[in-house]
């Protein structure tokens, strides 16, 4: 990227603000931006959600395909989760094959959902050894205003909890609700002005350092973590953000619960 | 236009299967300024179609070989989201989306004052979120609003609208069944203020008389959508919409 002067000035400004524990948009260190969640908003998707998180706008859509099962799990369905950072989302994104950034985003969201075990894969078997459902979850980023990870994670689980298995359309029985028993939630912290803050916006990401994402399940257990970008953190810092994460995850899970059935 | 003749698309009273008159459009909803990261943006819902368009620029044209010395390049991408159709679409460009992107870019270049921005590039990103016949038209309608929202000077807006033929009858604005089983499809990009046509494709079977009727219906539909486009832009700058 060709804009090195601006991040240097921005970094200085963010460091000055951090000295008095301020953020560039006036939020507290652990404060979240305003968010809005809509579910079931897309006509052709079997499950869908739109998340507006500050200046970030993300859709998630769920489709289903019938596949032959994996040899080692003949009676289990499967999940595929992908994301693309298309040029619609920001002037910094170019057209072309998926970038490492978009692959990381899709895989981190995938792990949080997969490892929580929230989808009952045994319930997605049609004919053991022959036909199972593959759940295909696509993350579609339309506006990158920072913290894509948390917005994508929220859109993903909301779309899954909203999804219906289209058995009738595929002539394999009656439609039924995709069995999703848990609501894993991701929270991301970014080093800005030398200290970690929750829910970095676009400017804070541009002038910040490493990011740490944590996905917590309903019981508070951890299902995925990811440290990305250049920078390091300490065990006490991790302990501190895990406490903050627990609180935000609880609130966000209540938001999802209030929007789906 | 396969399989026509054996599927009934008109009711006995002359209305269409969804109850519309033959010259009646599906409901249309337009909003401007929906994507905070973009320089200009628009959302259009037309029947069950939904499109969002982001505009970036004018900006430096990269790579340099795409630059034009006397005008801006319109870099247009039409893309269907993987979950926008009944069967999931594999992400990425295909021949259909490349062709639609090309002719849409040429239509928009006819209305944008590209000569104001030599050697630069204006990016237009058309994302189809939900598809139910006529997405290229919805993309054009949304792109025009997004360009205006970005403050890019234009001679007029463009409205995307289609007419077609079902059961030997010309109808305005084909829905999915009419598109799949009808006899002709004529998507157009109309500049309502000047009365010019900036975009046109057609496939199927139309007589001269039917073509004239179809064009007449398209202009009539375009006039209605044009009012909604202008209202969306006015609403945006009256502070009615987000941001």
**CB-CB under 8 Å, A91 with B127:** no
Gap between the Cα atoms of A211 and A219, Å rounded: 24
Gap between the Cα atoms of B31 and B35, Å rounded: 11
Give the rounded percent of residues in chain A with a pLDDT score beyond 70. Answer: 98
Gap between the Cα atoms of B40 and B56, Å rounded: 7
Cis before B63? omega within 30: yes
- Least CB–CB distance from B83: residue in A57, A63, A89: A63
What is the β-pairing status of strands B196-200 and B203-204? unpaired
DSSP symbol at A45: S
Of B51, B96, B56, B95, give the one whose Cα is nearest residue B73: B56
In terms of residues, how long is chain A? 261
Of B149, B175, B181, give the one whose Cα is nearest residue B162: B175
**CB-CB under 8 Å, B48 with A57:** no
CA distance readout (Å), A152 to A46, A157, B3, B127: 18, 9, 42, 18
Helix axes B135-149, B208-237, angle to 10 degrees: 40
Q: What are the φ and ψ backbone dihedral angles of B19, each rounded to 5 degrees?
A: 90, -5
Query: Which domains does chain B carry?
Result: 28-237 (3.30.230.70)
A110: Cβ–Cβ under 8 A, 6 or more apart, which residues? A79, A81, A137
User: To probe the interface with B, which of A34, A36, A44, A61 has the most B CB atoms within 10 Å?
Assistant: A44
Does residue A42 sit at the B interface (CB-CB below 8 Å)?
A: yes
Q: Which residues of chain B have a Cβ shorter than 8 Å from any chain A Cβ? A: 34-39, 48, 50, 52, 54, 56-57, 59, 77, 79, 81-88, 91-92, 123, 125, 127, 129-132
User: To probe the interface with A, which of B36, B37, B176 has the most A CB atoms within 10 Å?
Assistant: B37
pLDDT truncated to tens, each residue of chain A (261 aa)?
455 677 889 999 999 999 999 999 999 999 999 999 999 999 999 999 999 999 999 999 999 999 999 999 999 999 999 998 999 999 999 888 889 999 999 999 999 999 899 999 999 999 999 999 999 999 999 999 999 999 999 999 999 999 999 999 999 999 999 999 999 999 999 999 999 999 999 999 999 999 999 999 999 898 999 999 989 999 999 999 999 999 999 999 999 999 997
> pLDDT tens digits, residue range A62-80?
999 999 999 999 999 999 9
Does residue A62 sit at the B interface (CB-CB below 8 Å)?
A: yes
Q: Which residues of A touch B54 (CB under 8 A)?
A: 88-89, 142-143
3-state secondary structure (DSSP) of residue A157 = helix
Name the strands in the sheet holding A211-216, side by side, starting at the edge strand that comes first in the sequence.
Answer: A195-198, A185-192, A211-216, A222-228
DSSP string, B221-241: HHHHHHHHHHHHHHHHHTT-S
Residues 89-128, chain A: which have Cβ within 8 Å of B? 89-91, 95, 97-98
Q: Which residues of B touch A61 (CB under 8 A)?
A: 81-84
Query: Which domains does chain A carry?
Result: 31-259 (3.30.230.70)
> pLDDT tens digits, residue range A43-62?
999 999 999 999 999 999 99
Q: Which residue has the tokens 């072309």?
A: A96
**CB-CB under 8 Å, A88 with B82:** no
């Amino acid at each position: 990227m060709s804009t090195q002067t601006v991040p240097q000035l921005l970094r200085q400004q963010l460091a000055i603000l951090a000295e008095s524990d301020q953020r560039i948009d006036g939020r507290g260190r652990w404060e979240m931006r305003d968010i809005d969640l809509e579910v079931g908003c897309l006509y052709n998707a079997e499950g869908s959600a739109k998340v507006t998180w500050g200046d970030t706008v993300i859709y998630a859509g769920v489709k289903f395909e019938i596949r032959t099962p994996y040899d080692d799990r003949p009676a289990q369905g499967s999940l595929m989760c992908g994301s693309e950072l298309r040029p619609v989302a920001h002037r910094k994104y170019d057209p072309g094959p998926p970038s490492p950034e978009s692959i990381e985003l899709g895989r981190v969201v995938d792990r949080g959902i997969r490892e929580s075990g929230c989808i009952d894969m045994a319930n997605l078997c049609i004919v053991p050894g022959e036909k199972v459902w593959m759940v295909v979850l696509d993350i579609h980023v339309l506006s990158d205003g920072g913290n894509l990870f948390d917005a994508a994670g929220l859109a993903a689980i909301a779309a899954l909890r909203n999804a219906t298995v289209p058995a009738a359309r595929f002539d394999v029985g009656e439609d039924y609700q995709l069995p999703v028993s848990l609501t894993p939630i991701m929270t991301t912290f970014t080093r800005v002005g030398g200290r970690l803050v929750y829910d970095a916006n676009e400017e804070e990401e541009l002038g910040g350092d490493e990011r740490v994402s944590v996905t917590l399940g309903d019981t508070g257990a951890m299902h995925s973590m990811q440290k990305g970008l250049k920078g390091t953190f300490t065990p006490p810092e991790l302990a501190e953000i895990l406490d903050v994460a627990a609180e935000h995850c609880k609130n966000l899970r209540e938001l999802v619960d209030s929007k789906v059935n | 236009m396969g399989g026509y003749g054996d599927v009934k698309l008109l009711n006995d009273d002359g209305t269409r299967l969804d109850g519309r008159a033959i010259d009646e459009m599906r409901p249309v909803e337009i909003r401007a300024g929906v994507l905070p990261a973009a320089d200009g943006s628009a959302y259009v819902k037309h029947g069950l179609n939904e499109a969002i368009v982001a505009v970036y620029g004018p900006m430096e044209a990269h790579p340099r070989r795409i630059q034009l010395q006397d005008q801006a390049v319109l870099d247009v991408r039409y893309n269907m989201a993987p979950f926008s159709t009944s069967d999931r679409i594999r992400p990425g460009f295909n021949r259909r989306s490349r062709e639609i992107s090309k002719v849409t870019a040429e239509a928009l270049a006819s209305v944008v004052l590209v000569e104001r921005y030599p050697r630069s590039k204006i990016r237009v990103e058309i994302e189809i979120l939900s598809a139910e016949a006529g997405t290229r038209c919805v993309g054009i309608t949304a792109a025009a609003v997004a360009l205006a929202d970005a403050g890019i000077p234009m001679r007029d807006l463009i409205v995307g609208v289609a007419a077609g033929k079902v059961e030997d009858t010309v109808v305005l604005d084909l829905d999915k069944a009419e598109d799949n089983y009808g006899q002709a499809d004529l998507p157009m990009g109309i500049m309502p203020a000047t009365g010019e046509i900036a975009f046109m494709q057609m496939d199927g079977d139309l007589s001269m008389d039917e073509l004239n009727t179809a064009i007449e219906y398209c202009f009539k539909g375009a006039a209605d959508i044009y009012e909604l486009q202008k209202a969306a832009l006015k609403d945006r700058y009256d502070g009615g919409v987000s941001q």
